[in-house]
Amino acid sequence: MDKLKVTLTTLHAVLNDAEERQIVEPDIGSWINELKDAVFDAKDLVDEIDTEALRCKARDQTKKTQVCNFLSTSLNPFKYKGMNGRIEELFQRLEHLADQRNRLGLKQDIGRNVSQRTPTTSVVEKGFCPYGRDRDKEKLKDLLLLSDNESSSNFSVVPIVGMGGVGKTTLAQLLYNDEQVKKHFDTNAWVCVSEQYDDLRVIKTLIEQTTGKSCDISDRNSLEVRLREQLRGKRFLLVLDDLWNESYDDWDHLQNLFTYGAKGSKVIVTTRNKHVASIVHNTIPIHILEELSDENCWLLLAKHAFRNENPSAHPDLVEIGKQIARKCNGLPLAAKTLGGLLSCNLDCKEWSHILDSNLWDPLHPTSILPSLRLSYHYLPSYLKQCFAFCSIFPKNYEFEKENVIRLWAAEG
């Protein structure tokens, strides 16, 4: 166990360097994957040994005799390989990985002492107005308040299209929560549709939000009748956030339920897909949400990086921060995320390190992933492992925090 601890500590010391360089050096990515497999196998071995030790204790038998027998007995699916053989093989794998560390030129991490203060979330706060979006908000707000008396349809769709992280949801939230907009409509509802389109879930959510009551109906016909009656004669505002479904038939079936509302009803649809927007829009032109200017990106980044403190108090960081903001490519989510990361350490050297990091991917200049990857990179190793568990839950799946805690606890 002591030998295992020393070997793993040696490998762990270069892990941060390896994770940063794997973006541009595929061989290092393969090395990291092999190392993770070996570490997981090591943990499994330790768990088996601990389990057998507890079993011996429960039987009130001599631990030494039982554990020795266990180590020399084949409990592995590979019938003829005892526990000792597995341990020896594991050490050989780890020593091989340690040798490769030198060949790959991985450097020991000297520690960056990044604070673990939680970055600012993207939830729209009361009174918050995102930088550079005033014109978008006012234009769409005017469309929402139109009476649509000349339209042949009782409702109009307001499609908002833009790439991931550009702020479509935030803009929709601002419109949805605007006091003047609220007073204009009789009822409203918000549904996050997401990639896995489930029309029954969408209909049920709309019913629950417009009635303020839980809906236990599972029959399609009953659900559609309930929503139709709930919307009948009312001027409503519905938001279908993050719509991906390109099926015209699905949309046509859903929008038929909206025709029972009063004139002037509106449906805001946010999507990354222009084809989806072309399917859903009827009378109102598609609104393309463009990226922020570099200046607005900097203002947003600075707000989160300096926690609303005046940036002039840190003049040495301003120019570096503006260069980082330009790398956000006009994406508010990237600016917020990096601002939260930078706020952890108001140090010129640290900001320069992030600016010059290899994790900025030159092959995908409009991708949000490099900036989010940087945030992941600066988590300590144990939090990276905890964060990875979130990937087992589908997008927009509502999970209990206790379940995640149990998964983390099971991993030590």
Q: Which one, of 345, 344, 342, lies nearest residue 323 by Cα?
A: 342
Residues 322 and 298 sit within 8 Å (Cβ to Cβ):
yes
Count CA atoms closer than 13 A to 174's CA, side-chain side: 20
Mean pLDDT of 296-323: 89
CA angle 133, 172, 311 (to 5 degrees): 40
% the chain with pLDDT above 90: 34
Q: According to the model, what pLDDT value does residue 176 have?
A: 92
Top pLDDT among 187 and 90 is at: 187
The mean-pLDDT minimum among 46-60, 354-368, 376-390 falls in 354-368
The DSSP bridge partners found for residue 236 are: 187
Q: What is the dihedral of CA 377, 382, 384, 389, to 10 degrees?
A: 180
Q: According to the model, what pLDDT value does residue 62 have?
A: 53
Q: According to the model, what pLDDT value does residue 237 have?
A: 95
Residues 352 and 320 sit within 8 Å (Cβ to Cβ):
yes
| Overall pTM surpassing 0.95 (yes/no) | no
Question: Band of the pLDDT at 307, cuts 50, 70, 90?
Answer: confident
CA angle 13, 15, 16 (to 5 degrees): 100
The mean-pLDDT minimum among 108-122, 171-185, 256-270, 302-316 falls in 108-122
* Residue-range domain boundaries for the chain: 2-103, 134-288, 294-410
The mean-pLDDT minimum among 40-49, 247-256, 341-350 falls in 40-49
3-state secondary structure the chain: CHHHHHHHHHHHCCHHHHHHHCCCCHHHHHHHHHHHHHHHHHHHHHHHHHHHHHHHHHCCCCHHHHHHHHHCCCCCCCCCCCHHHHHHHHHHHHHHHHHHHHHCCCCCCCCCCCCCCCCCCCCCCCCCCCCCCHHHHHHHHHHHCCCCCCCCCCEEEEEEECCCCCCHHHHHHHHHHCHHHHHHCCEEEEEEEECCCCHHHHHHHHHHHHHCCCCCCCCHHHHHHHHHHHHCCCCEEEEEEEECCCCHHHHHHHHHHHCCCCCCEEEEEEECCHHHHHHHCCCCCCEECCCCCHHHHHHHHHHHHCCCCCHHHCHHHHHHHHHHHHCCCCCHHHHHHHHHHHCCCCCHHHHHHHHCCCCCCCCCCCCCHHHHHHHHHCCCHHHHHHHHHHHHCCCCCCCCHHHHHHHHHHCC
Segment 257-293, tens digit of pLDDT: 999 999 999 999 999 989 999 999 888 899 999 999 9
Residue 294 CB partners (closer than 8 Å, separation 6+): 322, 325, 326, 330
Name the phi and psi angles at 46, rounded to 5.
Answer: -60, -40
Residues 339 and 301 sit within 8 Å (Cβ to Cβ):
yes
Q: 10 Å Cβ neighbour count for 372?
A: 18
Q: Which one, of 231, 219, 234, lies nearest residue 184 by Cα?
A: 234
Residues in the chain: 412
Top pLDDT among 98 and 160 is at: 160
Angle, helix 134-144 to helix 168-177, in steps of 10 degrees? 50
> Chain centroid to CA 287: how far?
25
134-288 folds as: Rossmann fold (3.40.50)
Instruction: Reply yes or no on whether the pLDDT at 250 is more than 60.
Output: yes
- Taken in order 122, 128, 134, 137, the sign of the CA dihedral is positive
Instruction: Reply yes or no on whether the pLDDT at 133 is more than 70.
Output: yes
Segment 362-406, tens digit of pLDDT: 545 555 666 677 667 667 767 887 888 888 888 778 889 898 999
